[in-house]
Amino acid sequence: MTATTHSPANTERAPSNGHALAGTGTLVRFMLRRDRIRLLAWTAGFAALTLYLVTALPVAYETEADLAAATQLFADPVGRMLIGPGYGFDDPSFERFVANGYGLYFFILSALMSILLIVRHTRLEEQTGRAELVRANVVGRHTALTSALIVTVITNLVIGAAVFGVMVAVAGFGAGGSALFAASIAAVGVGFGGIATITAQLTEYSRAAAGIAGAALGAAFVLRAGGDMAAEGGNALSWTSPLGWGQQTAPFVLDRWWPLALPLGLAVVAAAVGYALAVRRDVGASLFSARPGPATAAPSLGTPLGLALRLQRASILGWGAALIIGGLVFGAYTDALIEALADMPDVFLELFGGAEDMVAGYLAYMAEFMAYLVAAFAIMAVRSLRNEETGGRAEPVLATPVSRWAWLGSNLAVAAAAVVVLMGLTGAATGAGAAIVTGEAHHVGELTAAHLNHAPGPLLVLGVAALLFGVFPRAVPIAWVLVGYGLVVGTFGPLLDLPEAAFDLSPFEHPAEMPLEGFALAPVAILTLLAIVAAALGLLAFRQRGVNVT
C-alpha cells in the first residue's frame, strides 16, 4: 500500500483533454434531471408567449388599417428604441409584427435564461460547496463548465423548436421566417450563455456573476436602442449589440441567416476565454478576490435594521436606477400616443380608457405596470433572505441576541419601505418624462401620486412571499403567480373581455386608476391591511420552524 501511494503514476502529470471532460455525459444528464421542472417551465413560457401573440394580435387588430396604425406607433425613434429597428413596418403583417415587433423581448428572455443556467451550474455550485463533492468523483477539470454549456444549448434549441412549432402549426406562419426567428432566439441565448462563462470566473458569488452578465445584457440593450433610434433599420451602433444581431436577421422581411454567425461566434470565443480563466484559479476561488471589510463596522450595522438595509442596499439602488430610466422612457412615449390617437385601433383605445381620456388612461396603466415590476423586486428581496439562510449567513446573526422577529421583521420593513420609495420615484420619473414631451408640469405630481396609489399591490405580494418564507421557504417562487396573473389580467384582460371576477382576483386591479379616476381610500387600506396580516403570519411561522430547512 505504501509503495502504491508514493508511486509516480499518481502524481506525475496533468490530465489530458479527454480526462478534463471526464463524466460530462453523466453530469449533463444529472443537470437535466435536476432542472427538469425549471427547464420545462421556461419552454412552456416561451411557447405560451408565442401562442398568445399569434392568437391575440388578430383579435386586437382586426383590419389591415388597425395593424398599420399599431406598427406606425412604433415607427418613430422612441418606438424603435422599445422594440427594434422596425423591419417590415412599412408593409406590416402579423408574421412581421410578431417577429420584428416582439422579437427583442424573446431575445432578452433567452439571454436571461442562459445567464441564470450557466451561473447556477457553475459559480453557485462552487459557492455552496457542492462542486467539490462532484469533483471528488471521476470528473474532469472542465466537466462542469462544459456540461452547463451543453445544457444551455439544448434548452435554447428546445425553446426554439417550441416557438417554431407554435408559429407554423398554430398560426400558419411561413416555415422559413419562423425557423429564422426561432434560430435567432436560440443563437442570442447561447451567445449570452457564453458571456456568463466568463463572469462565472470573475467573482466568488453567483449573484455578482449573474449581475455582471446582466449588466452586459443591459449594455447590449442600450447600444441597440441607440442605433435603432438613429435610423430605421438601425445603424452601425446596432451591429455592436448581440441583441441587435438577432434583430438584424429581419425574419419575414430580409430573411438574413448570416447575422446568426455573430452570436454563435461570440459564444465560442467567450467560452474559450471562460475555459482559459477557469484553469487560472482554484475551485471556489475567483479572479477578483473579495475585498476584506473594514476592521470596525459602522454603528448602524450593529442593529438588525441597519444590517438589513446594508444587505439590500445594492439591490434597491439597482432596481431604482432601472425603474427610473424605464419611467422616463415610458413617460416620454406619451407624445407619440397623442400623435397616433386618430389611427389607434378600438381595442387599444379601450385598454387605455377611450379616445377622450387616452393620455390619462395610458399613464394610469403605466402606474399599474410599474407595480408589477416593483412586485418582482419584493419577491427577489424575500428570495435573498432564503439565500442568507441556506448560505449559512443567517445563523451567525441569529446566534446573537437578535431574535427571529427582529431579523425577519427588519428585512421585511426595509423591503416594504423600498417598495413605497421605488413606486414614488418611478412615478416622478414617468411624470417627468411626460412633462418634458407635453410641456405640462402637473404630470410629475399627478403620476407620483398615481404610482404611490398602486404601492399596496406590491406590498401584498411582499406579504404573501413572507408568509411562504415562514411556512415553506422553498415555495417562495409561488408568489410569482400573483405577479404573472396580475400582468396577464391587467394587460390583456380588457382585450380578452374577461369577467369581472377574474380582475378581482388580482391585487393590482383594486386601487383606483389614477389619474383617470380619483383616489379611493378603501382598496388601498384593505390591501395594506392584508399585506400586514400576511407578513405577520409569516413572522409567526418563521418562529416555529427550524433555520435552514426546506
Provide the pLDDT for residue 18: 53
Sequence-ordered alpha helix ranges (H) in 231-303: 242-247, 261-278
Kindly report, residue by residue over 462-497, the tens digit of the pLDDT.
999 999 999 888 888 888 888 888 887 877 676 666
Distance between CA 181 and CA 257 in Å, rounded? 10
Residue 130 shares a structural domain with residue 254: yes
Peptide bond into 304 cis (omega under 30): no
Nearest by Cα to 416 from 306, 309, 300, 537: 309
Kindly report, residue by residue over 187-228, the tens digit of the pLDDT.
999 999 999 999 999 988 887 888 788 888 888 887 888 788
Provide the pLDDT for residue 113: 92
Residue 226 shares a structural domain with residue 173: yes
Last residue of a domain, one of 280, 313, 340: 280
Last residue of a domain, one of 280, 313, 344: 280
Distance between CA 98 and CA 255 in Å, rounded? 14
Q: Is the dihedral of CA 452, 457, 462, 463 positive or negative?
A: positive
Distance between CA 527 and CA 532 in Å, rounded? 9
Q: Is residue 2 part of a domain?
A: no
Query: pTM for the whole thing?
Result: 0.75
Tell me which residue range forms the domain holding 145. Answer: 24-280
Contacts of 95 (CB under 8 A, 6+ apart): 167, 171, 173, 174, 177, 178, 251, 252
Q: Is residue 530 part of a domain?
A: yes
Q: Is residue 100 part of a domain?
A: yes
DSSP state of 85: S
Provide the pLDDT for residue 121: 92
Give me the chain's average pLDDT, please.
Answer: 85
Residue 275 shares a structural domain with residue 400: no
Provide the pLDDT for residue 14: 44
Q: Is residue 9 part of a domain?
A: no
SS3 242: helix
Residue 395 shares a structural domain with residue 473: yes
Provide the pLDDT for residue 205: 82
Residue 246 shares a structural domain with residue 128: yes
3-state DSSP helix/strand/coil % of the chain, to nearest 5: 75, 0, 25
Distance between CA 49 and CA 361 in Å, rounded? 25
Residues of the chain with pLDDT under 70: 1-18, 73, 77-78, 339-356, 492, 494-497, 549-550
Nearest by Cα to 188 from 113, 292, 117: 113
Cα dist from 19 to 15, 163, 315, whole Å:
5, 37, 41
Residue 266 shares a structural domain with residue 322: no
Cα dist from 106 to 12, 32, 379, whole Å:
50, 22, 23
Residue 368 shares a structural domain with residue 234: no
Q: Is residue 494 part of a domain?
A: yes
Q: Is residue 3 part of a domain?
A: no
Residue 274 shares a structural domain with residue 407: no
Distance between CA 321 and CA 319 in Å, rounded? 6
Provide the pLDDT for residue 215: 82
Q: Is residue 6 part of a domain?
A: no
Sequence-ordered alpha helix ranges (H) in 293-391: 304-332, 334-339, 346-351, 358-390
Which residue type, as a one-letter code, is found at position 312? Q
- Number of structural domains the chain divides into: 2
Residue 333 shares a structural domain with residue 384: yes
Provide the pLDDT for residue 495: 62
Provide the pLDDT for residue 27: 93
Provide the pLDDT for residue 340: 65
Nearest by Cα to 193 from 277, 274, 129: 274
Residue 350 shares a structural domain with residue 388: yes
Distance between CA 49 and CA 151 in Å, rounded? 22
Q: Is residue 327 part of a domain?
A: yes
Residue 327 shares a structural domain with residue 207: no
Kindly report, residue by residue over 224-252, the tens digit of the pLDDT.
887 887 788 888 888 999 999 999 999 99
Residue 537 shares a structural domain with residue 465: yes
